[in-house]
Amino acid sequence: MKAEYPYCVWAEDGAGNQLNGDNYMIQQSIQGTIDYYTQNEYDPVVDEIQAALKSARISFYLNSVQYEDETKATHWEWVFEVS
């Protein structure tokens, strides 16, 4: 199956930070990644993704931006954490 650009995928990767007390977990967060692939050099969706995360008050950071020679696409990756 050949991907059509642009496209976005996300996944919950596992536990993020947790708060422990009295020898048990009190609160846990879930960490995941958002991956956006585009062939548009100045794609406005990149800013829209970040604005949506900020608006939803989701903690995140831009982990990497990679150009993929084989597909001529730019791969943006964010890491998010929710509790």
Q: What is the pLDDT of residues 21-77, one digit of tens each?
A: 888 887 888 999 999 999 998 999 999 999 999 999 999 999 999 999 999 999 999
For residue 74, the enclosing domain spans 7-18+26-82
Question: Which CATH number covers residue 62?
Answer: 3.30.2000.30
Q: Give residue 2's pLDDT.
A: 76
Tokens of 28: 């846990």
The answer to whether residue 69 sits within a structural domain is yes
Q: What is the pTM of this model?
A: 0.84
83 band by pLDDT with thresholds 50, 70 and 90: confident
Q: How far apart are CA 71 and CA 5, in angstroms?
A: 10
Q: Give residue 1's pLDDT.
A: 65
* pLDDT at residue 17 is higher than 80: no
Largest pairwise CA distance in the chain: 52
Tokens 């009190």 -> residue: 26
Tally the domains of the chain: 1
The answer to whether residue 11 sits within a structural domain is yes
The answer to whether residue 1 sits within a structural domain is no
